[in-house]
Homo-oligomer: A and B are copies of this chain.
Amino acid sequence: MLRERIRHKPLLDRVVSADEAAALIKDGMTIGMSGFTRAGEAKAVPLALAERARKDPLKITLMTGASLGNDLDKTLAEAHVLARRMPFQSDPGLRKAINAGEVMFIDQHLSETVEQLRTNQIPPVDVAVVEAVAITEHGGIVPTTSVGNSASFAILADKVIVEINLSQPVTLEGLHDIYIPTRRPARMPIPVVTPESRVGLPFIPVPPEKIVAIVVSEKHDSSATIQPPDDDTRAIAGNLTDFLLNEVKRGRMGYELQPLQAGIGTIANAVLHGFIDSPFHDLKMYSEVLQDSTFDLFDAGKLGFASGSSITLSSEMYRKVLPRLAEYKHHLILRPQEISNHPEVIRRLGLICINTALEFDIYGNVNSTHVGGTHMMNGIGGSGDFARNGFMSIFVTKSIAKNGAISSVVPMVSHVDHTEHDVDVLVTEVGLADLRGLAPRERAEVIIANCVHPEYRDVLRDYYLRARQRGGHTPHILEEAFSWHLALRDRGTMRPA
């Protein structure tokens, strides 16, 4: 059994316990682990590390692809192992430590981490810990349900620990396409010219000597935490498909649209779901995380191909997909996040990018990360790679949160992740604002008319009209700009007193 998974014979001798492998990680080290949006993370070694830290405290810098599953970020944070964490997370426990200033979180565009690593602009990875379905005859590492930054971590690290996860099906082999850009300034074009372009190897190439330890595990990936579509998310999806249908009718694109990127979370998943009952067909995805909706679209015959960096599914969908992986595999590629999110490829393919806002303002600036301007939610993730460089940048959100105590449309966002220049279309369940070619004052009119919850519409228009009297390209009343956020803090609601 293990010989099928570890096909480079000399490596069979390197199988050790998780504790022994974790012992290779020393205080102060920088560790690069696999894992992207709860998929394909190393599971045994970080747990052993947290266990050890309870008796023998140590601190590390932890880099991953994106968020980890199996509560690992929480466990590591609570064991006080994390001095620094990058480039993304989405764990309530870790979030708490970050907002308390206990963990230094470096929130990065997901395409950039390994560029900074390979140019020594951030400290090097001492040890890489990568989950794999198998190690090939020549020592190549076959990742599991995500690629993330694993390839560059393994290639750049001094030492590599591999976790062979027996619960990850061997049919995953052949799914991955590992391409690493050459060094700059002598870099050649990335040869990806369609979502289905295969340009690399189906494994991570490392000299087998670098694999210092192999741990066998059996734990499953965590399932996704997204909620099923509801009336509001269905309305958001409906508004967006109507808009895209109109683009088709005006001759701007065909029914196959442009390749789609969709962000993480409940709303983005629900929006993609909306394409099932649309007249679009032969769709393609060039995205980051492939969620349930990707497979529902395959099954509905709507989607021809999907390229991503991870597969993160609900437990129900896992049960459906895993046995049929060999079928789906012909229509799927998992790539390093540097390639799934590469500005070059995003611009070339001309992606329609759909990401989620926490809040946006009357001029179309978007906050995706900071509650109340100060407290980190998850991080910017890949949204900045996509929104800046895509064909069309769409942000979706419900018009209100917390039973209406929060309006997601505010006078001025309390934190900016995406500037008005990067936001073409805004969608809530109320309606859609097409901002292309509009100046700020025009954007404000359309956003207030189309996207704001009726309860907040008049008071937001009142702010805008009073601001406009003061003049300026982007009128504001600076002393009032955050008054809605302050009311929420002080009175528990943004509703006018």
Contact = CB atoms under 8 A, between A and B. Distances in A.
Given A84-B439, A104-B442, A472-B374, A342 B350 contact: no
B438 A374 contact: no
A77 to B, nearest CB: 14
Nearest to A30: B437
Copies in the complex: 2
Interface residues of A, number: 86
Contacts of A478: 372-374, 414, 482, 485-486, 489
The 5 closest A-B pairs by CB, nearest first: A374-B472, A184-B350, A189-B189, A376-B473, A104-B439
A476 interface: yes
A98 interface: yes
A209 interface: no
Given A185-B350, A348-B189, A482-B481, A375 B98 contact: no
A388 B392 contact: no
Q: Please report whether the interface of chain A is mostly helix, strand, loop or mixed according to DSSP.
A: loop
A123 B252 CA distance: 12
A454 to B, nearest CB: 26
A376 B478 CA distance: 15
A232 interface: no
A258 interface: yes
Given A84-B439, A105-B439, A479 B472 contact: no
A391 interface: yes
A281 interface: no
A467 B374 CA distance: 10
A108 B421 contact: yes
A279 interface: no
Contacts of A99: 471-473
A301 to B, nearest CB: 20
A92 interface: no
A336 interface: no
Contacts of A258: 184-185
Contacts of A439: 84, 104-106
Contacts of A86: 437
Contacts of A476: 373-374
Nearest to A388: B388
Contacts of A187: 193, 348-350
A389 interface: yes
A415 B479 CA distance: 14
25 contacts: A98-B473, A99-B471, A106-B437, A106-B439, A107-B421, A119-B252, A120-B251, A122-B436, A184-B391, A185-B258, A185-B350, A187-B350, A188-B193, A189-B193, A343-B388, A370-B472, A372-B478, A373-B474, A375-B472, A376-B472, A384-B419, A384-B421, A388-B389, A416-B419, A478-B485
